[in-house]
Structure 1
Amino acid sequence: MTGSARNFLEFHDIPEAGLRSIVARAGDLAKAWDERAMPQSLAGKRVALIVDDGGWRNTTAFDLGIQAMGGICAHVPGFNAREEIGDLSGYLGNWFDMLVIRTKEFATLKAVVAASPVPVINARTRSNHPCETLGDLAYINSRRSSIDGLKVVGVAADANILRSWAEASIALPIKVVQVYPERWHIGDAALINKRFRVSTDMGELTDADVIITDSWPSDATWEALAGYRIGTDVLDRLREDAIFLPCPPVTRGQEVTAEAMAHPLCQSRAAKAFLLHAQNALMEWVAT
């Protein structure tokens, strides 16, 4: 964990026991949400929501969740290039109990944490997106009653979504396999561990519990990636209880076909509901 505060910059910033408690708590909060009986766990807490790179899904969920649990959410404009990050962090720490930040560079978050007197949550960077993975794991746990021993196959390039799954394999007993052409394999030594590996073989999907995708890299050609597109022909060969989670924004016709989005194994919409619940559970944990 970074420093003494309960920061969440990378998935493995939180010990396994903490992650398990958050994932389980997300299931409780999902029920409370449906019953319109949310606990007021953030009552009296002031949370800054800083969006520095666009996006809307998880930041909207943060805003809604903070209010639903009794907290105060203030939208703060993106970082001012004329002021030092350390100075800004200190100023915000005068007013807020927690900072939730969506920004492009992971280094920006590190600089904020180094100077912030209050906890910081990573709402997304170009390097990783731990809240997205946390939400997916909470959904998977709600379906399977466990996340132990999962085989997660990421048909995706080295980018923020897949990197957060690799981070998760450091902290949790899940296996993650990247299946993609070698040119786009993850090579970051900080993410390599005994539960993460790379492959070019689409046969890895056959016994997968979970399949995730991400947008095609901008420097890719159709010829290079056509064999890694997920269509109904691929999904029909998977296990009946497999969970297919194409990562939004989905580019139909590239990483997935339009038909694959309507396949029974595709559970993206239901899973993304848990983004709210997992982030709420995370904020509870951070605020404790």
Structure 2
Amino acid sequence: MMMSARHFLSLMDCTPQELANLIRRGIELKDLRNGGALFEPLKNRVLGMIFEKASTRTRLSFEAGMIQLGGQAIFLSPRDSQLNRGEPVSDTAIVMSRMLDAVMIRTFSHSTLRIFAENSRIPIINGLSDDLHPCQLLADMQTFHEQRGSIRGKTVAWIGDGNNMCNTYIEAAHQFDFQLRIACPEGFDPQPEFIAIAPDRVQIVRDPREAVAGAHLVSTDVWTSMGQETEEEDRLARFKPYQVTGELLDLSADDVLFMHCLPAHRGEEISLDLLDDPRSVVWDQAENRLHAQKALLEFLIEPAYHHA
């Protein structure tokens, strides 16, 4: 009989209260690190990390996070495992879950994550899929909370592609209780099944100025995601009116924050100087991947061996 592990494939895998606790804990762990405290609750615990897509922040934050919590992380690219040579995902999941304490997966198809979770006795974490990027949203919500307090009842604008980040913002609107305005070109809307999660909190518009009017948080992402390179020229033309600039932010709330999950293509989805704008918090946001995910790792892995 398989133990039922807690997974984090989506923000919907936690209750709003659990998510609020994770944000609070992320801030506490950040304070501990900044104070130079040694805190190693995951000593001798091992995180497996499977990367089918390239990564900078996800790899650094999970690997550094495990080491700082007293554990270790093992990096597997497709070249380094049998997954690339046709071993079924389910078989890999069974074996990995007998040797490790958790697995983080950055993949294309969200179904890979689901199959892994169904065959795993240890927590599976979504480090990004074509559908969702929940760890990024933990960092975004922590960053907003640190700077402005609760996001509840606030207005958030998403500008650009209705991609995995946009889908995750929809889940966040539901779980953290804010209003979300999405400005994207026709044909690039988020998937209907995600809009159905929070229809009362999500509005889709075509004009970015309408989306940012009075917004407390404005967020965007690259116009061409990994795996879409062949569409790049068409996308550049379609998305041109959706560039986020200082002038666009001027239409939002006086205390607006600007976020971008990075990497950023300056001169495309953002104006050349936007990351230097005082309203931009992208570097804090990137750092908070580390702290928010440490809170997540502690939450998912610790109980498993306290109560095993």
Q: TM-score range by the shorter chain?
A: over 0.9
Match of 1:281 in 2: 295
- Counterpart amino acid of residue 199 in structure 1: V
Measure the CA separation in 2 of the matches of 1:75 and 1:186: 31
Which deviates more, 6-15 or 224-233? 224-233
Contact 1:235-1:260 within 8 A present in 2 as well? no
Partner of 1:69: 69
- Tell me if 1:122 matches 2:122: no
Instruction: Give me the TM-score of the superposition, normalised by structure 1.
Output: 0.93
Partner of 2:220: 213
Q: Distance in 1 between matches of 2:191 and 2:113?
A: 22
**CA-CA distance at 1:43 after TM superposition:** 1.7
1:178·1:197 contact (CA, 8 Å) conserved in 2?
A: yes
Measured in 2, the distance between the counterparts of 1:222 and 1:76 equals 33
Worse overlay, 90-99 or 183-192? 183-192
- Return the alpha-carbon distance in structure 2 between the equivalents of residues 222 and 118 of structure 1: 42
Task: Please say if 1:102 is aligned against 2:126.
Answer: no
CA 1:221–1:73 in 2, change beyond 3 Å: closer, same or farther? Answer: closer
**More displaced stretch, 58-67 vs 233-242:** 233-242
Give unmatched runs, 5+ long, in structure 1: none
Correspondence for 2:168 among 164, 167, 181: 164
More deviation, 80-89/117-126: 80-89
- Cross-structure match for 2:227: none
CA distance in 2, matches of 1:105, 1:241: 37
TM-score, with structure 2 as normaliser: 0.88
Give 1:56 shift: 1.8
Which amino acid letter does the alignment assign opposite residue 41 of structure 1? P
SS in structure 2 opposite 1:135? helix
Q: Distance in 1 between matches of 2:261 and 2:48?
A: 26
**Cα drift, residue 86 of structure 1:** 1.1
1:188 CA drift (Å): 2.1
Residue 214 of structure 2 is aligned to residue 200 of structure 1 = no
- Which residue number corresponds to residue 148 of structure 2? 144
| 1:262 maps to which of 267, 271, 276 | 276
1:184 to 171, 181, 188: 188
Q: Secondary structure at the match of 1:178?
A: strand
Match of 1:34 in 2: 34
Q: % of aligned pairs identical?
A: 24
Q: Structure 1's 87 and 187: CA in aligned 2 closer, same or farther, altered over 3 A?
A: closer
Q: Secondary structure at the match of 1:207?
A: coil
Name the counterpart of 2:60: 60
Deviates more, 1:202-211 or 1:214-223: 214-223
Residues 81 and 105 of structure 1: CA distance in aligned 2, closer, same or farther (over 3 Å): farther
Deviations 1:17-48 (Å, cap 9, x if unpaired)? Answer: 11010011111111111112142121231211
Q: 1:57 to 1:222 in 2, by over 3 A?
A: closer
Deviations 1:240-259 (A, max 9, x none): 21000123111111111112
CA gap of 1:187–1:106, structure 2 versus 1, over 3 A, is: closer
Aligned to 1:14: 14
User: Is the 2:160–2:239 Cα contact (8 Å) retained in structure 1?
Assistant: no
Return structure 1 stretches of 4+ with deviation > 3 angstroms: 219-224
Q: Distance in 2 between matches of 1:223 and 1:75?
A: 37
Deviation at 1:200, TM superposition (A): 1.3
